Structure 1
Amino acid sequence: MNFTAESKILIQGISEPLGAIYTPLMQAYGTQIVAGVSPGGGGKPIADIPVFDLVEQAISKVGRIDTSVIFVPPYEVMDAALEAIAAQIRQIIIITEGVPPLDMVRVLRKAEATETLVVGSNCPGIIVPGQLLLGIHPPEFYLPGKVGLISRSGTLTYEIALELTRAGLGQSIAIGIGGDRILSSSFQQWLQILEEDDQTEAIVLVGEIGGDSEESAARYIAEVIDKPVVAFLAGYSAPQGQFQGHAGAIVASRIAGLGADIGSAQSKLEAFKRAQVPVADRPSQIPDLVKKVLEQV
């Protein structure tokens, strides 16, 4: 993981509506955006940032780039991500929602082959409070500190960050892993990253009903993670019996012994209970739980 104030950032889709809105906000936060890419828009700076037609042209002009943030339309995401990977950019954040699943599969195959970290799609991105903003997080909700925040939800990430900030519990980093069907980086991957991060002392994991991500994360926490973890689950009020996962998750859960009710709030709560991870009933409880687990360290 290389997300610092010195990181050099590229914006793909800088002239798209979201790109044009959030690029100046990221820049105002102190993020070093060194170039943008907009096919057909090369040579037309945006917010004093040079814009190029191709990623390769941007790198030849500005040099090494650490991370690309992608705002292009859904059916252009695969080409944009593969172009960034081919240009040796090893951290990619896909903000775009609704990327075709097979396109994401192709991106992930190439990312795995090249050891590229991909976040998203359909995510708010990453914020390292006080250092850099990569995406659409509202930075005023965040405070530099020692709590790492990993979430499937966008807006819940902001709400929980604000609860932590109001309680004086700053954050080392906040990651929205995304809400589309095919996601790139997982809870487990980020749990391991934060486990090894010297700036993080405790972890807050924000999950949702549907799929087996939280059950798998709970097992991983029990087996691998030493730092204290607090969880919150969204979706308690969803209609009973309305399954929101997918066939692969059902089969995998039964093979792994996770239970036939995989994806339900109860299944996830029981998984975290087995892993001895405290689960908040509502976001406002999270700061007290974090303080409690930190006292026990």
Structure 2
Amino acid sequence: MNWNFSPRILIQGIDQDCAQEYLQQFDGHRKDIVAGITDQNLDFTFDGIPVFSLITDAFTEGAATPNASEKEMTTSLIFSHPYLVLNAVYEAITAQIKQIVIYSESVPPLDLFKIYQKAKLKDVKILGTSQGGILIPEEYYCGLNYGNIFQKGNIAMINYADQIIAVTIAQYLQKFDLGFSKVINVGNNLLSQIDWDLWLKMLDEDKNTEVILINLGEISTKETKNLATSIEKISKPVITYLLDKNHLKSKINNNKAKVISDQIFNNLYTANSSELIKEYLQNSKGIITEDYQAISELLISQ
């Protein structure tokens, strides 16, 4: 099962501030948005995007369709309030949408459990929660902020942390003219269930990807073991960067990048947990580094 990069995206929770901030960044790609669904503001409008209260209303008005056509919805991107995410996911699944990206943060744990249970039952792919997003530079944008910062190249990046980490690293790698084939933000929620096999297999088979960079913030033992197992199944080189707040800050000289890196603190683990993660991953193939400056050298050498 692979990801469908057809740009036919539904926005749920379009009246949330984070959704509006996201959409303001991508004027040229609003044509990729089939429709928007509001959480509560029935009078909400957004320039160039038809807005409705329910997905069924979008069907009725002809803005979208669950069937194969130029208006088919391939993906739902959810910005809804945390307590409304479960209902939003259920509505999207009922509408036969097979890919769901959840940007919303702080989704209740029991709701998360129900989401993954329902998605597995209905064979629906979930990316996120907590700032989930995916992009192909200059081609496809779904949930990742500051998409213009990611220049094209042959590096695929999986980011298990705040999106701002991926942005900071992309800015740093621009100094070495290094760009990306695909960028996947799997979120930063310890309760999220990551389909490492899906993402790594997709990147391993991607003709535009030569090396895979994985950024790891705080991650559970179970997910670390799953990641190590998935890395063993692929053939392309993998570099894993274990985030270290103080080292990362000290190595970024660009003022804007430093402002961004100042927001890293809450998503990093202690030295002890870092050692445990290294212990699990060192038994798999691939390179592990905690040195921010080493990332560019390692990527270039592959």
Amino acid at match of 1:219: T
2:83 is matched with which residue: 75, 78, 93?
A: 75
Match of 1:35 in 2: 35
Match of 1:126 in 2: 134
Amino acid at match of 2:198: Q
Unaligned runs of 5+ in 1: 238-243, 246-262
What's the CA shift for 1:44? 4.8
Whole-angstrom distance in 2 between the partners of 1:104 and 1:27: 32
Whole-angstrom distance in 1 between the partners of 2:226 and 2:95: 33
TM-score (norm 1): 0.82
Q: Deviations over 1:65-123 (max 9, x none)?
A: 01111111000000001100110111111111100011111111111112111111112
Q: Deviations over 1:220-263 (max 9, x none)?
A: 212x11111011012588xxxxxx99xxxxxxxxxxxxxxxxx8
Q: Deviations over 1:109-153 (max 9, x none)?
A: 111112111111112411211112212421232012221111111
Whole-angstrom distance in 2 between the partners of 1:188 and 1:268: 19
Match of 2:10 in 1: 10
The equivalences for 1:1-297 within 5 A come to 1-4=2-5, 6-29=6-29, 32-39=32-39, 41=41, 44-60=44-60, 61-62=62-63, 63=65, 64-154=72-162, 155-212=164-221, 213-222=223-232, 224-235=233-244, 264-293=273-302
Q: 1:40 to 1:280 in 2, by over 3 A?
A: closer
Whole-angstrom distance in 2 between the partners of 1:181 and 1:210: 6
Q: 1:196 to 1:115 in 2, by over 3 A?
A: farther
Q: 1:31 to 1:282 in 2, by over 3 A?
A: farther
Would you say how many aligned residue pairs link Structure 1 and Structure 2? Answer: 270
SS of equivalent to 1:122: coil
Would you say the 8 A contact 1:26–1:135 is kept in 2? no
What's the CA shift for 1:184? 3.8
Instruction: Report runs of 4+ in structure 1 exceeding 4 Å deviation.
Output: 39-44
Would you say the 8 A contact 1:150–1:187 is kept in 2? no
Whole-angstrom distance in 2 between the partners of 1:144 and 1:51: 32
SS of equivalent to 1:283: coil
Amino acid at match of 1:65: M
Would you say the 8 A contact 2:137–2:147 is kept in 1? yes
Q: 1:126 to 1:42 in 2, by over 3 A?
A: same
Percent same amino acid among aligned pairs?
28
Whole-angstrom distance in 2 between the partners of 1:159 and 1:283: 11
Whole-angstrom distance in 1 between the partners of 2:116 and 2:132: 19
Q: 1:168 to 1:236 in 2, by over 3 A?
A: closer
SS of equivalent to 2:194: coil
Q: Deviations over 1:176-222 (max 9, x none)?
A: 11112321433343112212223322111111244122343123212
What's the CA shift for 1:39? 4.8
User: Relative to structure 2, which stretch is displaced further, 136-145 or 89-98?
Assistant: 136-145
What's the CA shift for 1:164? 3.0
Whole-angstrom distance in 2 between the partners of 1:234 and 1:69: 27
Unaligned runs of 5+ in 2: 66-71, 247-267
What's the CA shift for 1:42? 5.3
**RMSD in angstroms over aligned alpha carbons?**
2.5
Whole-angstrom distance in 1 between the partners of 2:50 and 2:192: 31
Whole-angstrom distance in 1 between the partners of 2:134 and 2:116: 19
Whole-angstrom distance in 2 between the partners of 1:144 and 1:33: 23
TM-score (norm 2): 0.81
